[in-house]
Amino acid sequence: MTGTRRNSRRLPPPISVGADGSSLSRLDVAALYQRTRRRRAAPYRRADIFARWGGACCYCDAPAEHLDHVQPLSRGGRDVLSNVVPACATCNLAKAALTLAEWIADYEAPRNP
């Protein structure tokens, strides 16, 4: 095969915006949306959660550096005080987007060498 390889993904056509025929690409519209979307403040304070748990990871008692959603946001969990716990980096990154039950089952599963 000769020639250069072309990217198979093509950008969508521009969106007409004004009466004068001006247009924006879909990427420009997405960038505008990201800038105008407001993020709500969390209904809890990070310091309060660490203080409530004594600065320890809720899973292994190591010093906590992260906050973890017990029921992940991507799995329908809510960003509320009762769903947020302190976690060490190792536990938080290992748990990722798993539910607590899935993570424990995976943790206790026998490993094949």
Domains and CATH numbers, the chain: 46-108 (1.10.30.50)
Give the list of residues 6+ apart from residue 36 with CB closer than 8 angstroms, or none: none
Cα of 113 vs its chain's centroid, Å: 32
- Helices in 1-113 by DSSP H: which ranges? 26-36, 46-52, 89-95, 100-108
What pLDDT digit, counting tens, does each position of 50-82 carry?
Answer: 999 999 999 999 999 999 999 999 999 999 999
Least confident of 19-23, 35-39, 60-64: 35-39
Contacts of 87 (CB under 8 A, 6+ apart): 57, 58, 59, 64, 65, 66, 67, 68, 95
Confidence class for position 88, pLDDT limits 50, 70, 90:
very high
Q: Enter the pTM of the model.
A: 0.62
CA distance 36 to 96: 29
